[in-house]
């Protein structure tokens, strides 16, 4: 019975509140009184949300931190790769500049292996017989001669460096043309000149270039720089040591030179013949294009002088 009375009372209040404004002040006062209870009732939910947000924010920050660390490592790796590519680009530019200074045909190769024997100085490159590489072919880098090809395979070739103990190359002093033989010492930073007279005009800092003797290496390429000259009055020959100009133990890219097989006399003779043929052709073209002189115009006819007229006879009649 009490429940029924309360239900009827509640229904009556809802109808009155919905259709009339009688209970509006009462509802406003009750809302003002119950506002703190609303906040108190919502407090556990807000506390739980705050705690959950704190833990989730921390976990998100940790995850983001790990992600940023991974990205930083990737960027560092790319930066290192970029630095390596930059150095590679610089070396290739140097190599291309040196190729532009070389008159002969050249082929760019890359180092792919080094002989593990410490008593031999040989390297393996990625160009072989299929690329036109041949035995004895000169090899150089951006700074000077490195050596020559001693073994050719279809796709690779083996190069003997200048500093190998079995290698020698004819050189000359660039300053005065003094000729000598540079031999390898087994040290990648040293060459020695054999049988240089003790009185020879050679000193530290002299540039040694290939002399072209033996027709194996082209003439004029840098080989080494004299680093030490030891004179001994009791010996007929001086001790001359030099440092190779090429970076033998650091170079990764190199040039294979295809030298002109003709002798200097043949090249000079053929060049003179080509120049003579060119001059003759120019002369013929100039002769064919010369203007033809016009024929002289005929002289105007001069009229003949008229014959002189005779005077009329005088009259004979008179006055009689």
Assigned architecture for domain 106-257: Beta Barrel (2.40)
Answer for the pair 246, 111: CB distance below 8 angstroms, yes or no.
Answer: no
Beta bridge partners of 160: 122, 148
Distances (CA, A) of 48 to 40, 41, 43, 59, 147: 14, 13, 9, 17, 78
pTM of the model: 0.55
Helix boundaries (H) for the chain: 2-19, 24-101, 264-288
As given in the structure block, the two tokens for residue 127 are: 């160009």
Mean pLDDT throughout 103-131? 87
Residue 301 confidence class, pLDDT cut points 50, 70, 90: very low
Residue 171 reports pLDDT greater than 90: yes
**Helix, strand, coil percentages, rounded to 5, for the chain:** 40, 25, 35
CA pair distance 6, 67, nearest whole angstrom = 63
Which tokens is 193 given? 């000149």
pLDDT 10s digits, 206-263: 999 988 887 788 888 889 999 999 988 788 899 999 999 998 988 888 888 886 655 5
- CA distances from residue 22 to 17, 31, 107, 203, 282 in whole angstroms, order as listed: 7, 16, 104, 121, 123
Residue 208 CA from chain centroid, whole number:
27
Tell me how far apart the alpha carbons of residues 305 and 19 are, in angstroms, rounded to a whole number.
152
The total number of residues shown for the chain amounts to: 320
Q: What separation in angstroms does the CA of 199 have from each of 169, 177, 184, 205?
A: 22, 15, 23, 17
pLDDT class of 62 with cuts at 50, 70, 90: confident
Closest CA to 144 of 13, 284, 246, 279: 246
Q: What is the pLDDT of residues 7-38, one digit of tens each?
A: 888 888 777 777 777 766 776 676 667 667 76
Contact 175, 208 (CB under 8 A): no
More confident residue, 211 or 53: 211
pLDDT in tens, 267-287: 667 777 888 887 888 888 877
Euclidean distance between CA atoms 161 and 248, whole angstroms: 7
User: What are the beta bridge partners of residue 140?
Assistant: 145, 255
Among residues 141, 142, 134, the alpha carbon closest in space to that of 158 is found at 134
Residue ranges covered by each domain of the chain: 1-101, 106-257
For residue 115, what is the DSSP state?
Answer: -
Question: Is residue 314 scored above 90 in pLDDT?
Answer: no
């Amino acid at each position: 019975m009490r429940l029924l009375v309360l239900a009827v009372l509640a229904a009556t209040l809802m109808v009155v509140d919905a259709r009339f404004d009688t209970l509006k002040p009462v509802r406003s006062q009750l809302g003002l009184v119950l506002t703190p209870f609303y906040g108190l009732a919502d407090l556990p939910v807000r506390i739980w949300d705050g705690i959950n947000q704190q833990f989730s924010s921390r976990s998100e920050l940790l995850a983001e931190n790990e992600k940023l660390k991974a990205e930083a490592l990737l960027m560092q790796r790319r930066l290192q790769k970029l630095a390596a590519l930059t150095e590679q680009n610089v070396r290739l530019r140097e190599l291309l500049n040196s190729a532009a200074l070389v008159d002969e045909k050249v082929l760019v190769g890359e180092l792919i292996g080094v002989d593990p024997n410490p008593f031999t100085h040989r390297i393996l490159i990625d160009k072989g017989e299929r690329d036109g590489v041949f035995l004895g072919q000169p090899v150089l880098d951006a700074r000077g001669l490195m050596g020559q090809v001693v073994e050719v395979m279809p796709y690779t070739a083996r190069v003997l460096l200048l500093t190998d103990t079995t290698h020698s190359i004819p050189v000359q002093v660039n300053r005065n043309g003094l000729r000598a033989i540079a031999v390898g010492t087994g040290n990648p930073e040293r060459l020695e000149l054999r049988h240089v007279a003790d009185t020879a005009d050679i000193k530290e800092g002299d540039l040694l270039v290939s002399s072209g003797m033996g027709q194996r290496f082209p003439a004029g390429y840098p080989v080494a720089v004299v680093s030490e000259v030891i004179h001994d009055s009791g010996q007929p020959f001086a001790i001359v040591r030099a440092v190779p100009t090429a970076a033998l133990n650091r170079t990764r890219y190199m040039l294979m030179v295809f030298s002109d097989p003709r002798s200097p006399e043949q090249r000079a003779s053929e060049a003179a013949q080509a120049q003579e043929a060119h001059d003759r052709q120019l002369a013929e073209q100039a002769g064919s294009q010369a203007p033809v002189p016009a024929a002289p115009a005929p002289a105007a006819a001069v009229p003949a002088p008229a014959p002189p007229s005779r005077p009329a006879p005088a009259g004979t009649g008179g006055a009689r």
